[in-house]
Every structure is written in C-alpha cells, then in structure tokens.
Amino acid sequence: MRKSKPYITIVGGANIDIIGSPYKKLRLKDSNPGKTTISLGGVGRNIGENLSRLGIDTRLITVLGNDTYGKLIVEEGKKIGLDMSQSLILQDEDTSTYIAILDETGDMNVALSSMDIFEKMTISFIQDKKEIIENSALCIVDTNIPIEVLKYMVSNFKVDFFLDTVSTTKAEKVKDILGYFHTIKPNKLEAEILSGMEIFEERDIKKVANHFINQGLKKVFITLGEEGVYYFDNQNEMHLKSPKIRIKNATGAGDAFFAALAYSYFKGLDIENTLKFSIGASIITLEDENTINPNISVENIENRIKEIGLW
C-alpha cells in the first residue's frame, strides 16, 4: 500500500557542469577563443529541482565539497526549495565537476568528469538517514552513489525505491539487486544491459520487461526516444508514442520524465495519466534550451499535453 507521506527523498549525484564552446573550428592542442557556461547538474539534483518546481517537498541527500561549487549548489537549492540539509559536506574535497569541450557544431569533442567525492558516502552515513528515508513517500536513488551503499539501503530500509540507472556503464553495477527496487526507468540500451537480452522489436521489449518483473520489480518504464515509452507491470501493458516536436536541448529530458513519474506516484495518478504527464514533462524540457526548464510546472505540463493532443 502506498504511503501518504508529505515528501520525497533522493539519494544521488549533484555536480557542476562547465561547458566550453569555440567560436570557430576547434583546434586541438591550442587555446581556442570561445565561451564557457557553468550550470548545476547531477542526475539526483536535476530530478530534485524538477520535483521542487512541481511543488513537491523534496529532500536531496548527496555529497559536496565545502568549496565554491558546493556552496553554489546548496544556495541554488534553497532558492527553489530543494532541501539539502541532510547532505554530506566535506571540508577538503572538491565538489563533483563535469567539464566538456564542444566542437564548432555543438557536439562534444572531449569531456572529463571528476566524481570521486561520491565514494565518500558510506554505509554508516546512510544508516543515520534511515528514518528520513523510510518516512518519505518514496526514495529515488541514482547509480552515482557507491554500490555497497545502494545495496545496504535497498536491503535494509523499508520504502519504495525508484531507480534511475544514469548510464549504460553505471547501470551494470545494479544488475544483481534489481529485485529490491519498486520502479525503474532504463532506456533501451540500459534495459538490454540490465537484462542481458537484445531488443529488436516490440515483443523483445515485453520479454525484457517481464524479466524485470520476475526479478521482483513492481513497475517498469522503458524509454525509447522517438518511439515513446513502454510500460509493464503484472497487470498492465502500455506503449505510448511521443509526438513530433522541435528539440532545443535533449540533455535534461530523462531527468524531467523521472521527476514526473515520481510526482505521479506521489499524487496517486493512474498509469495512463502517469505516462502522459511524464512525456509532457520531458517535452517541455526538450523544447527549452536549459537542462531544466525554469517554467516547468504542473499547469504548464497539463496545458502542453492538451495542445499536442495527449489529453
């Protein structure tokens, strides 16, 4: 039975994204005139910001350095109502940073991620957060946190865990503990890695989703890009296609979708409305140049999905 508690907890990553774009053709091993942008990122943090903007009381538990970037993440969290007071702040550590250099077409040429700080999250740290996590309506976790901490949480805490796999590489480490989660949202490639099965057609998707349900999962959402979203549980199966839209930035669509999934569960929406609302959240994010659309709101999502005929 769903707990009707007033907040959602997230245990996951937060970082600073630094993106460099050259004005002309990128010259390697040289200094290129261009511009840099600094923005807040991290899967857990991005989902948390989206949830806060959707009006949900959200607590983010992450690991930050007590440096300029860490302070910036905390300050920005306060502005949008994202509670980070339970996070681990470390004095002599650098906040997780992602640096990407784009080429003249806007494609990534090279990137470097400095995420060692997340390894400082320990089982003893997360033990102290047990009451906060168990009293939430659901707990979202991402695969940026150490596997031993993830394993400890899902096998010792009684709450519905929602898993964001983050990437194909990071998805690998949760293969053995999938059955402990309530809900997962892999994309096609991540679903193949987690199941050990290849997806070529619709029946393959069902086979993979069924495999996850047999492991103990309650709800499976597999995102398929332009092909929409496939949903499966023990009783329901649904494949909702995405309408054609003009994409400005594809970076944050998955985080918005996941936040809307959690919102829908929190509010008790049925599966059809959950899928429509979540696709709507990803659409208004895709249509904005920012990773997180600053205008994301329940009203704006509902209006957008009416405009495109989803509702």
Q: Does any domain span residue 19?
A: no
Q: Does any domain span residue 37?
A: no
pLDDT band, residue 281 (cuts 50/70/90): very high
Tokens of 28: 């390697």
CATH code where residue 190 lies: 3.40.1190.20
The pLDDT of residue 105: 82
Across the chain, the runs of DSSP E, i.e. the strands, are: 7-11, 15-22, 34-41, 57-61, 63-65, 82-83, 88-90, 97-102, 108-114, 139-142, 161-164, 183-184, 219-223, 229-232, 237-240
In total, how many domains does the chain have? 1
Tokens of 89: 């702040």
The pLDDT of residue 2: 47
Q: Does any domain span residue 56?
A: yes
Q: Does any domain span residue 261?
A: yes
Tokens of 109: 């040429």
What is the Cα–Cα distance from 137 to 160, expressed in whole angstroms? 7
pLDDT band, residue 266 (cuts 50/70/90): very high
pLDDT tens digits, one per residue of 194-220:
999 999 998 999 999 999 999 999 999
- Summarize the confidence of residues 251-279 as an average pLDDT: 94
pLDDT band, residue 268 (cuts 50/70/90): very high
The pLDDT of residue 233: 95
What is the Cα–Cα distance from 237 to 271, expressed in whole angstroms? 9
Across 91-200, the runs of DSSP E, i.e. the strands, are: 97-102, 108-114, 139-142, 161-164, 183-184
The pLDDT of residue 168: 85
Q: Does any domain span residue 244?
A: yes
User: Which residues have a Cβ under 8 Å from the Cβ of 162 and sit 6 or more positions away?
Assistant: 138, 139, 140, 141, 181, 182, 183, 184, 185, 258, 261, 262, 265
pLDDT tens digits, one per residue of 39-61:
899 999 999 999 999 999 999 99
The pLDDT of residue 309: 79
- Strands 229-232 and 237-240 turn out to be antiparallel
What is the Cα–Cα distance from 213 to 230, expressed in whole angstroms? 14
What is the Cα–Cα distance from 30 to 22, expressed in whole angstroms? 11
301 with 92: CB under 8 angstroms?
A: no
Q: Does any domain span residue 216?
A: yes
Phi-psi label, residue 5: left if phi above 0, alpha if psi -120 to 50, beta otherwise: beta
Residue 1, pLDDT > 90, answer no
Give the three-state DSSP class for 121.
coil
Q: Does any domain span residue 36?
A: no
Q: Does any domain span residue 259?
A: yes
275 with 231: CB under 8 angstroms?
A: yes
Residue 249, pLDDT > 80, answer no
Q: Please name which of 295, 276, 277, 298 lies closest in space to residue 287, comparing C-alpha atoms.
A: 295
Distances (CA, A) of 9 to 21, 62, 155, 300: 35, 11, 17, 24
162 with 168: CB under 8 angstroms?
A: no
Residue 18, pLDDT > 50, answer yes
The pLDDT of residue 280: 94
Residue 311, pLDDT > 80, answer no
184 with 166: CB under 8 angstroms?
A: no
Q: Which domain holds residue 51?
A: 7-13+42-95+116-307
pLDDT band, residue 35 (cuts 50/70/90): very high
- Summarize the confidence of residues 238-262 as an average pLDDT: 88
pLDDT tens digits, one per residue of 133-159:
999 999 999 999 999 999 999 999 999
- Per the DSSP assignment, residues forming a β-bridge with 240 are 229
What is the Cα–Cα distance from 41 to 62, expressed in whole angstroms? 12
Mean pLDDT of the chain: 92
To the question of pTM greater than 0.85 for the whole model, the response is yes
The pLDDT of residue 5: 61
Most confidently modeled of 102-111, 163-172, 182-191? 182-191
The pLDDT of residue 223: 93
Residue with the bigger pLDDT between 243 and 3: it is 243
